[in-house]
Amino acid sequence: MSASSPLPLPLPLLKRIPPGLWTALAWYAAAVEPIIEYVVMPSRRTYSLNYPRDGLDSLGAQALLAVAFVLVLAGSAMLRRRTLAAYGLVIVGTVISTVAWRQDEIPPTQFLAVDIALCHLAATRPRRTSLAAAAAALGTLAGYLVLRLFTGDDSSIPQEPFVALTVVIAWLIGNSSHQARAHTAELHARVAAEAVTAERLRIAREMHDTVAHSIGIIALQAGAAARVVETQPAKAREAMLTVEMAGRETLSGLRRMLGALRQADQDEDRQGRAHAPVPLRPAAGLAGVEQLAATTTAAGVRVEVRWQGRRRPLPADIDLAAFRIVQESVTNAVRHSGADSCEVRLDYRADELAVEVSDRGKGGGTSTDSGYGLIGMRERAALLHGDFAAGARPGGGFLVAARLPIPAGTDAEAKAGAR
């Protein structure tokens, strides 16, 4: 199972700027420039049909332009939260600005903000919604064109077809981004599902090894009991008790694991998932934690193991799951945390085993880490009806915590076997 992915690199500066800010910058730059050039600056010989010098002399025109400024500002501010409503405000504000200047068309620079908002909308909303938004922009442009045709104003080449082309380009860019995100999300979901299946296959292999070991013990003990049943009844009785304990423990573990896997398979069948097998590694148990700690310490990262509660034999599936959680967590700490030490705490409680692995590093990740090692650990805990959590610690570092329920009667069976 792969370890957690390293922390992602920070986004470039241009991508960190929200789309609403880009929209506001484009619109306000296009709106303020003619005010400065044709109203505030001293009179010059140059003059504009779109922006007449007396265009904003009336209080009504000034009020309309102020309303346009407010609408576009509001739309830009809420573009990420309420995209459709914000997009509509940007279009309405753009239209009102042309009314304030008494224009019969929308200048291309003024419509650039609408293109930016449309691009963001197409990248974040379903295709049907983005197509409706693009149609609204094209309809606005068509309305200006039709209005000029009815008024008989053909003094200049219509700009609407060229502006409409920018609308189409903006929608294509946004839609391509939307498709790329959807494809990436699908790939991540597929890899995560395969990671879950890989962990289940490993659990099945470990359970197979455990059952094979138990059957071997049963066969040996039964044979020994058969040989000494007449001459040494006490030893024969002890051997048969060992057979009974091994058989019950193996059967109990199989029932728990097969029941959990069957339920998980039914859930996946309802969701239509498909997975692929992954190579597995041999099994171990909590008896190997000390060796794991010594090996990791020798590699340069000190691992402290703290045992709490009364240590006792555990069912094989719980023992293996706990070791795998410790092993994966220590591996993640070594590879990604940057810490020089980590702590493993194993708490044997009355009805559960608590496992915690913590470090004080800087690169552990978050509780939503995309690494598939966390997925595997969470799957192991879930199949045993336990709880799993992983995330950054308030004081720094990373913490992995799991609680694995211990079936009732396990301790009594161990004591019976010991007798």
Tell me the pLDDT band of 50, cut-offs 50, 70 and 90.
low
Contact 299, 337 (CB under 8 A): no
User: pLDDT tens digits for 340-380?
Assistant: 889 999 999 989 999 999 988 875 444 334 456 788 788 88
Q: What is the pLDDT of residue 90?
A: 95
Largest Cα span, the chain = 126
* pLDDT above 70 (res 80): yes
The secondary structure of the chain in percent helix, strand, coil, rounded to multiples of 5, reads 65, 10, 25
User: pLDDT tens digits for 234-263?
Assistant: 887 787 877 777 777 776 666 666 665 555
Tell me the pLDDT band of 232, cut-offs 50, 70 and 90.
confident
Name the residue with higher pLDDT: 248 or 122: 122
User: pLDDT tens digits for 324-336?
Assistant: 899 888 888 877 7
Cβ neighbours of residue 216 under 8 Å, at least 6 residues apart? none
Q: What is the pLDDT of residue 417?
A: 45
Mean pLDDT rounded to a whole number for the chain: 79
User: pLDDT tens digits for 86-99?
Assistant: 999 999 999 999 88
34, 36, 40, 43: CA torsion to nearest 10: -60
Q: What is the pLDDT of residue 86?
A: 94
Q: What is the pLDDT of residue 411?
A: 56
* Count of C-beta atoms within a 10 Å radius of residue 267: 10
Q: What is the Cα–Cα distance from 246 to 145, expressed in whole angstroms?
A: 86
Name the residue with higher pLDDT: 141 or 281: 141
Q: What is the pLDDT of residue 368?
A: 39
* pLDDT above 80 (res 38): no
Q: What is the pLDDT of residue 71?
A: 95
User: pLDDT tens digits for 274-302?
Assistant: 333 333 334 458 988 988 888 888 767 88
Q: What is the pLDDT of residue 274?
A: 38
Q: What is the pLDDT of residue 229?
A: 78
Q: What is the pLDDT of residue 77?
A: 94
Q: What is the pLDDT of residue 282?
A: 41
Q: Which residues pair with residue 347 across a beta bridge? A: 308, 354
Tell me the pLDDT band of 412, cut-offs 50, 70 and 90.
very low
Q: What is the pLDDT of residue 294?
A: 85
Q: Tell me which amino acid residue 225 is.
A: A
Q: If you average pLDDT over residues 18-25, what whole number do you get?
A: 92
Name the residue with higher pLDDT: 320 or 215: 320
Q: If you average pLDDT over residues 66-84, what whole number do you get?
A: 93
Contact 41, 54 (CB under 8 A): no
Instruction: Give burial (CB, 10 Å; 0-12/13-18/19+) of 318.
Output: buried
Q: If you average pLDDT over residues 107-121, what whole number do you get?
A: 92
Whole-prediction pTM? 0.56
pLDDT above 90 covers a percentage of the chain that reads 30
* pLDDT above 90 (res 153): no
Q: What is the pLDDT of residue 3?
A: 37
Q: What is the Cα–Cα distance from 409 to 220, expressed in whole angstroms?
A: 25
Tell me the pLDDT band of 209, cut-offs 50, 70 and 90.
low
